[in-house]
Chain A
Amino acid sequence: MAILEVKGVNKRFGGLAALSDVNLSVQESTVHAIIGPNGAGKSTLLNCLVGKLMPDSGSVMFDNQSVLGRKPHEINQMGISRVFQTPEIFGDLTVLENIMIPCFARRDGAFRMHAFEQFANETELIDKSDAILSDVSMTDQRDAHAASLSRGDKRRLEMAMCLVQEPRLLLLDEPTAGMARADTNNTIDLLKEINGKRDITMVIIEHDMHVVFSLAERITVLAQGTPLVEDTPDNIKGNPKVQEAYLGESQN
């Protein structure tokens, strides 16, 4: 069953057609990769899914409900979490607090006036956060200021913030960019495990083909705002059109 169904989405920025007639169907419990050269419109597509941008036309259905016109927090509450291309974290807060906040969002909904409760008493949520911290092997940095983390660690933190929400759909915009090889491999393992064990559907945008081919079950190639092909990794590898559009362009 398709958990995410994008149909005929168009988005223009002035004269630039960032997305033109994009169709995308993501099956539940799969890892679906979107690849394409810089400026192909990959991030723009994600922006249309999470309520950051409103497409000019088309429809976006998540679990048979339209997400268009909903506010970002409502879309998240439907079960969609996103890791951004440039890490978006709470730099002034500690790593643990960064993870606690999505925990509250998941448990209490979009707003709750918990002004007289004590943060330190939320042992259940703290345990949950500690567990996810050890999953992304960041236990050592638990009490560090998030702003002081390395770029790769910020990404892992952001991923943990999304994972702790146990979303139904996880959108990852270049999750391994700026990571060392070893960390990249750890991330691949983590994502594989999450997809298998926790049954989270993933849409992953990635330039690193090693990551793409290790994880993805379906791949959509986007070029100049239009989907070129959608197929299995094996078929994509041998597709001359992809070689030309994607690999050809990314080399210059």
Chain B
Amino acid sequence: MLGLNNKDTSLFLVIIVLTILAPVLLNPFPTESTLAQFNAGYPDLMQKFVVFGIFAIGFNILFGLTGYLSFGHAAFLGVGSYSAVWIYKLFTYNVIPALILAVIVSGIFAVLIGYVSLRRSGIYFSILTLAFAQMSFALAYSVLSNPKFNLTNGETGLQIYANDLQLFHREGLPDFPHLFGLSMVSTYKLGVGPWEFQLNVAYYFCAIMMILAFYFAIRLFRSPFGMMLRAIKSNQQRLNYTGLNSRPYMLAAFVVSGMYAGLAGGLLAVTDPLAGAERMQWTASGEVVLMTILGGTGTLIGPVLGAGFIKYFENIFSKINDQVLHQWFTFLPDGIEDVLVAIVHPFIGKGWHLTLGILFMLVVIFLPGGLVEGGQRIARLLRRLSNRDKAADATNVSAE
């Protein structure tokens, strides 16, 4: 279907169904229950899942296929956000032109940064991309924000003010990013018994974008172009002596990947019409590396899983505080309760990065293929168990 083989078609359909049902599936606990704090089915978090999913899918096209580790991909994310917000400020809150500009401008940035960075490979490439990203951060944070020429609004971040031009903004259109009048904040609340599911426009819009991004990634993975990129990772020298110029292939991969990041950045501005320099910082670049490795480098679904995993735990762990912990451990004697809370304390709230670090180490050490490998191992184990059952049944039968 759609030019995909059977296996890819099923994967693609699974992704579509999961993203459509996410507001329900991610809300397993009734609103009033104490477990409701572990629900992930609210718009803010689900938007992050799909937007960072796009970011990671794009990053994986570069890192997963070619093996070139960019440490500055957040620059494109930021460029995408700034471009989108400028469209809002100058012309309209309609998200379509905003996203188009976000993708184009990040693509242009990627051509420039890629052209220079790709003169080197390995660690030098990573350092060059990091340097470019930090330069972009500095530009956004201070240089391009002075009274005479204010492109980024520095520390405050770029946002929309009442006196902005908004040339095509009309009476009756929402004062928020919208799709031809359909406001991105509108949310339909679906009550089913004790549950409440939130069906949010921005989420579904971003989800459709992710589905498209995923589809394009599958096609790219299965194309001759994708194979050339894999060949670069495997043996770039050989590729050159085989008559192929690895340079334009690398640049194309870099630009496609940068445009994915730009789309993700634009979508961040769809869910919230604001762009800040911190989006370009090296920690943001590092995060997408973690997402990809955690999920499974070079696999189709891995980056999406990794993005969801990190964003979910970031949210949950940073929400838990000492009070919540005391509630959990309340059944224990007071002394033990206090000790336990004291032990867990550094790993929650602001300390959740510590937890993420430990999780990351565990995955890299025990599951070098990431969550995808974990899933494969479990599937294999289940198959072996069921085979053994069958074998046991068979011997029972023959014994009788």
Please determine whether A120 and B5 come into contact, CB atoms closer than 8 angstroms: yes
Please determine whether A110 and B222 come into contact, CB atoms closer than 8 angstroms: no
Please determine whether B219 and A116 come into contact, CB atoms closer than 8 angstroms: yes
Number of B positions contacting A (CB below 8 A) = 30
What residue in chain A is nearest B232 (Cβ atoms)? A90
Q: Interface readout for B277-292 with A: 1 if CB under 8 Å, 0 if not?
A: 0000000000000000
How far apart sit A97 and B235, CA to CA, in the bound complex (Å)? 13
Q: Which of B224, B237, B244 contacts A119 (CB 8 A)?
A: B224
Instruction: Give the distance to chain B from A84, nearest Cβ to Cβ, in Å.
Output: 8
Instruction: Give the distance to chain B from A106, nearest Cβ to Cβ, in Å.
Output: 7
How far apart sit A57 and B223, CA to CA, in the bound complex (Å)? 43
Interface: A40 (CB within 8 A): no
What residue in chain B is nearest A87 (Cβ atoms)? B238
Interface: B249 (CB within 8 A): yes
Q: Which of B219, B220, B224, B237 contacts A104 (CB 8 A)?
A: B224
How far apart sit A112 and B242, CA to CA, in the bound complex (Å)? 14
Interface: B341 (CB within 8 A): no
Interface: B328 (CB within 8 A): no
Chain A residues, CB < 8 A from B242: 73, 76, 81, 101-102, 105, 161, 165
Chain A residues, CB < 8 A from B226: 115, 119
Please determine whether A110 and B245 come into contact, CB atoms closer than 8 angstroms: yes
Interface: B227 (CB within 8 A): yes
Please determine whether B235 and A88 come into contact, CB atoms closer than 8 angstroms: yes
Q: Which of A89, A118, A165 contacts B238 (CB 8 A)?
A: A89
How far apart sit A122 and B240, CA to CA, in the bound complex (Å)? 22
Tell me the A135-186 residues at the B interface (CB within 8 Å).
161, 165
Please determine whether B245 and A92 come into contact, CB atoms closer than 8 angstroms: no
Q: Which of B5, B240, B252 contacts A72 (CB 8 A)?
A: B240
Interface: A50 (CB within 8 A): yes
Residue of B225, B230, B234, B241 with highest tally of chain A CB at under 10 A:
B241
Chain B residues, CB < 8 A from A71: 240, 245
Tell me the B1-28 residues at the A interface (CB within 8 Å).
3, 5
Chain A residues, CB < 8 A from B252: 113, 115
Instruction: Give the distance to chain A from B107, nearest Cβ to Cβ, in Å.
Output: 14
Chain B residues, CB < 8 A from A92: 230, 233-234
Given contacts A115-B225, A115-B226, A120-B222, contact A90 B241 (CB under 8 A): no
Q: Interface readout for A45-59 with B: 1 if CB under 8 Å, 0 if not?
A: 000001010000000
Interface: A31 (CB within 8 A): no
Interface: B231 (CB within 8 A): yes
Chain A residues, CB < 8 A from B316: none
Interface: A117 (CB within 8 A): yes
Please determine whether B245 and A104 come into contact, CB atoms closer than 8 angstroms: no
Please determine whether A73 and B223 come into contact, CB atoms closer than 8 angstroms: no
Interface: A77 (CB within 8 A): yes
What residue in chain A is nearest B241 (Cβ atoms)? A72
Tell me the B198-251 residues at the A interface (CB within 8 Å).
219-220, 222-228, 230-231, 233-235, 237-246, 248-249
Instruction: Give the distance to chain A from B35, nearest Cβ to Cβ, in Å.
Output: 44
Tell me the A83-111 residues at the B interface (CB within 8 Å).
84, 88-93, 97, 100-102, 104-106, 109-111
Residue of A72, A112, A118, A119 with highest tally of chain B CB at under 10 A:
A72
Chain B residues, CB < 8 A from A110: 243-245, 248
Q: Which of B3, B231, B240, B243 contacts A93 (CB 8 A)?
A: B231
Chain B residues, CB < 8 A from A112: 224-225
Please determine whether B241 and A114 come into contact, CB atoms closer than 8 angstroms: no
The range of chain A's interface size is 35 or more
Given contacts A92-B230, A111-B248, A118-B3, contact A165 B243 (CB under 8 A): yes
How far apart sit A73 and B249, CA to CA, in the bound complex (Å)? 13
Interface: A32 (CB within 8 A): no
How far apart sit A101 and B225, CA to CA, in the bound complex (Å)? 10
Instruction: Give the distance to chain B from A122, nearest Cβ to Cβ, in Å.
Output: 7
How far apart sit A90 and B220, CA to CA, in the bound complex (Å)? 19
Instruction: Give the distance to chain B from A206, nearest Cβ to Cβ, in Å.
Output: 20
Interface: A218 (CB within 8 A): no
Please determine whether A73 and B225 come into contact, CB atoms closer than 8 angstroms: no
How far apart sit A84 and B238, CA to CA, in the bound complex (Å)? 10
Chain B residues, CB < 8 A from A84: 241
Interface: A11 (CB within 8 A): no
Instruction: Give the distance to chain B from A68, nearest Cβ to Cβ, in Å.
Output: 16
Instruction: Give the distance to chain A from B343, nearest Cβ to Cβ, in Å.
Output: 44
Q: Which of A91, A109, A111, A117 contacts B235 (CB 8 A)?
A: A91
How far apart sit A118 and B225, CA to CA, in the bound complex (Å)? 9
Interface: A82 (CB within 8 A): yes
How far apart sit A81 and B3, CA to CA, in the bound complex (Å)? 34
What residue in chain B is nearest A83 (Cβ atoms)? B241
Q: Which of A89, A104, A161 contacts B228 (CB 8 A)?
A: A104
Chain B residues, CB < 8 A from A115: 219-220, 223, 225-226, 252, 256
Instruction: Give the distance to chain B from A221, nearest Cβ to Cβ, in Å.
Output: 27
Instruction: Give the distance to chain A from B366, nearest Cβ to Cβ, in Å.
Output: 22
Q: Which residues of A contact B (CB under 8 A)?
A: 50, 52, 71-73, 76-77, 81-82, 84, 88-93, 97, 100-102, 104-106, 109-120, 122, 161, 165
* Given A119-B224, A165-B243, 6 other A-B residues pairs in contact with their CB atoms under 8 A: A72-B240, A72-B241, A81-B242, A97-B227, A115-B252, A118-B223
- Between A and B, 24 residue pairs with Cβ closer than 8 Å are A71-B245, A73-B242, A76-B242, A81-B241, A81-B242, A88-B238, A88-B241, A89-B235, A90-B230, A90-B231, A90-B239, A92-B233, A92-B234, A97-B227, A101-B239, A101-B244, A109-B243, A113-B252, A115-B219, A115-B226, A116-B223, A117-B223, A119-B223, A119-B227
